[in-house]
A and B are shown apart, each in its own frame.
Chain A
Amino acid sequence: DTGVSQNPRHKITKRGQNVTFRCDPISEHNRLYWYRQTLGQGPEFLTYFQNEAQLEKSRLLSDRFSAERPKGSFSTLEIQRTEQGDSAMYLCASSLSGGIAYEQYFGPGTRLTVT
């Protein structure tokens, strides 16, 4: 397995447009996480899934944000009516739950720039 992949790697969009990012986790991992990282800051938790169920959402995730994991495999994160404050790196991570693996494996991220 090649690890967690994210597409696209970079996205430039105009304010007000909708964008969608995709994350493909490590194949046997049942947990999938989304984080947002702005310049000079550590990643901030947005939401996570166990299989297809979305178990927790941060209050950072406004109504304009929606995440899905329809078949418990890949996940999408959509931002509607983008704002300049949405410019950030969006990170996806995956892990196993209930096992002895403690690590969340992070993807390379999708860098969003809203102009």
Chain B
Amino acid sequence: GEDVEQSLFLSVREGDSSVINCTYTDSSSTYLYWYKQEPGAGLQLLTYIFSNMDMKQDQRLTVLLNKKDKHLSLRIADTQTGDSAIYFCAASETSYDKVIFGPGTSLSVIP
């Protein structure tokens, strides 16, 4: 089955860019997601990318996909203290299939 891996911690200074990396194993994963989880809050879908895309940009967020290497990254430009949270990389075969999550990357933004 699918396995999603990501680094567990990232610390950046306010105003810098953050890059969170993720790898997945199942080439049949068609949909790749980034979710955000803040303390005491539910999971929030930040953005998604289809496997036939290389890049997707959405305001401060840029997602890059290297399908050959099964590598996904999330870049947050001009990182703010409000971006401090846990970010989950996730994958699914269809848009309504079960989602397989990575362990999460805890992003700390230093003022």
Query: Interface of A with B (CB < 8 Å)?
Result: 31, 33, 40-45, 48, 56, 58, 91, 93, 95-98, 101-104, 106-109
Contacts and interface: CB of A to CB of B under 8 A. Distances in A.
Given A43-B43, A106-B43, A98 B102 contact: no
A43 B101 contact: yes
- Could you tell me the dominant secondary structure of chain A's interface residues? loop
Interface residues of B, number: 19
A102 B48 CA distance: 9
B42 interface: yes
Contact of A106 (B42, B95, B104): B42
Interface of B: 4, 31, 41-45, 48, 88, 90, 95-96, 98-104
B102 A42 contact: yes
